[in-house]
Amino acid sequence: MSSQPQKPGLFLSLFPIIFLIGLLIINIQVFGDDGLSGSNQMVLVLASAVAAIIAVKLGHTWEKIQDGVVASISSAMSSILILLLIGSLAGTWLLSGIVPAMIYYGLQVLNPTIFLMAACVVSAVVSVSTGSSWTTVATVGVALLGIGKALGFEEGIIAGAIISGAYFGDKMSPLSDTTNLAPAMAGTDLFTHIKYMAKTTVPSIIITLIIFTVIGFTDGASGELSDVGIISNVITENFNINGWLFIVPVLVIIMIVRKVPAVPALLAGALLGGIFAVIFQPEIIQRIADTNGSYAYLSFIAVMKALYGDIGIVTTNEIVNELLQTSGMAGMLNTIWLILVAMVFGGILESSGMLKTIAEYVIKLAQSTGSLIATTTGTCVFFNITTSDQYLAILVPGRMYADVYKKRGLKPENLSRTLEDSATVTSVLVPWNTCGATQASVLGVATLTYLPFCFFNIISPFMTMIYGYFNIGLTRYSDEEMKAFEQEDAA
């Protein structure tokens, strides 16, 4: 084995990815939506093994490959912690009646005609306020899914409306981590980035809202208003529904707005949910505990079950039974398994130089401004697929293209906008990406089921490419600024 590893060629660099995509296609045909239960994870393990064999053949030591894997997994640890806590939060918010209350009140004010559009708007407002698409989907998103199913909508289109709104807010909020990361990588400031990004993002969300409104007025849903009344009655028969329950989600939103980190904010939300369950839902506590003893003893059992495992409220209505069940922290373990093996795959490609080889080749293809922006978009999507992490899909292309944009006379906000228009929004469309896997688990809707209805996420990358090819809304350096840059480089 040589002391200096060889640089991988383009074919060798692409081979593990081709292998992964081919095996995933077969896997989806065989297992379908059940792939998250283990088969998708094993596909990624096999693809990682192929990548590792190539890396060793190129002269990389196993120790170096392993260090790359560990670094890749470490970058996803905060996401894994958040995911675990979202599972616990979903459990105690069901036990306490918070999610049932959201469904109940939502059924009173929403009707099938405007529901999809309203779900998108509500998710967008909450996500802008919190800066987190994950928190939005895990809280109001879960409630909106329940409302939509009660109204008779298919779960895929409901999830598409929720995710479209949540990712619009995630892009536009100054509190969002990706909204801060993109300008940092490109070399511009936060508010210039947001202002410039609005040029593509606002038209994208307007088109999205029009589509959901048209669907609502033309197709509607199969649910009847009488069904809504029945579902509302079943919820009130089983839960103590009152406005005090909304104190918990409001407090969580306030914490996030005040920049309390996501992990302590979500933990506080989960624990507060447990406390409110003890206060407001004594009958539910007894049913979930399913044993004898003091109320304190029963409360401990029920809250712990909601935090870590499966709970379900059995009623006389099958639709309500489907809405009122959750799997707690344990329900996120398959998703975490998927994230871990995905980060192993990305870590091997990164540490062996395969991703760098692919990136260098792609940059050569970008000749015009339009093709440069299109290439950046494609690279971000590619990294979402291969590294399974939206942060890497922003970081790596941001580093790759910063100098290229500058030399082409394009100001950094062009790059930062493109990063967000492609990397941030498409991460949730990849089943094995941390975002796609997380939202599929939180909502209980497979990624490929909601993907066709995430109109905002699909439109955004095309919108930024259209702006590039037609030279719309691009900011450029003046001739004097370009001369100054050339003099700096020469010096």
Residues 111 and 42 in one domain: no
**Domains: count for the chain:** 2
* 337 vs 116: CA distance, rounded Å: 32
Query: Which of 25-29, 262-266, 459-463: highest mean pLDDT?
Result: 459-463
Indicate the residue type of 121.
Answer: V
Note the pTM of the prediction, 2 decimals: 0.69
Name, in order, each residue with C-beta under 8 angstroms of 63's C-beta and a sequence gap of 6 or more.
none
DSSP one-letter string for 269-329: HHHHHHHHHHHH-HHHHHHHH-S-S-HHHHHHHHHHHHHHS-EE---S-HHHHHHSEE-TG
Residues 402 and 270 in one domain: no
* 299 vs 279: CA distance, rounded Å: 10
Contact 416, 408 (CB under 8 A): no
Domain-located, residue 59: yes
Indicate the residue type of 308.
Answer: Y
Residues 260 and 383 in one domain: no
Residues 219 and 84 in one domain: yes
Name, in order, each residue with C-beta under 8 angstroms of 123's C-beta and a sequence gap of 6 or more.
136, 137, 140, 141, 144, 161, 162, 163, 164, 165, 166, 169
Residues 317 and 365 in one domain: no
Percent of the chain with pLDDT over 70: 94
* 111 vs 38: CA distance, rounded Å: 38
Residues 249 and 374 in one domain: no
How many alpha carbons fall within 13 Å on the CB side of residue 257? 11
Domain-located, residue 282: yes
Query: Which of 221-230, 316-325, 435-444: highest mean pLDDT?
Result: 435-444
Confidence of residue 1 (pLDDT cuts 50, 70, 90): very low
Of 185 and 476, the one with more pLDDT: 476
Domain-located, residue 253: yes
* 448 vs 440: CA distance, rounded Å: 9
Residues 53 and 93 in one domain: no
Domain-located, residue 21: yes
Residues 175 and 318 in one domain: yes
Residues 357 and 268 in one domain: no
The pLDDT, as a whole number, for residue 491 is: 59
pLDDT (tens digit per residue) in 228-275: 677 788 889 999 999 999 999 889 878 877 878 878 988 999 999 999
* 491 vs 486: CA distance, rounded Å: 9
Domain-located, residue 2: no
Is the pLDDT at 129 greater than 80? The verdict is: no
Domain-located, residue 4: no
Task: Residue 395: give the domain boundaries.
Answer: 10-25+35-72+332-486
* 245 vs 243: CA distance, rounded Å: 5
Phi, psi of 230 (to 5 degrees): -65, -45
Residues 89 and 146 in one domain: yes
Confidence of residue 350 (pLDDT cuts 50, 70, 90): confident
Q: Which of 328, 362, 386 finishes a domain?
A: 328
Closest by CA position to 194, among listed 212, 176, 210, 209? 176
Q: Which of 282, 303, 328 finishes a domain?
A: 328
Domain-located, residue 174: yes
Domain-located, residue 474: yes
The distance in angstroms from the start CA to the end CA of the chain is 41
Confidence of residue 419 (pLDDT cuts 50, 70, 90): very high
Residues 50 and 115 in one domain: no
Percent of the chain with pLDDT over 90: 34
Q: For the chain, state the CA radius of gyration.
A: 24
Residues 121 and 242 in one domain: yes
Q: Which of 328, 359, 384 finishes a domain?
A: 328
Q: How many CB atoms within 10 Å of residue 33? A: 14
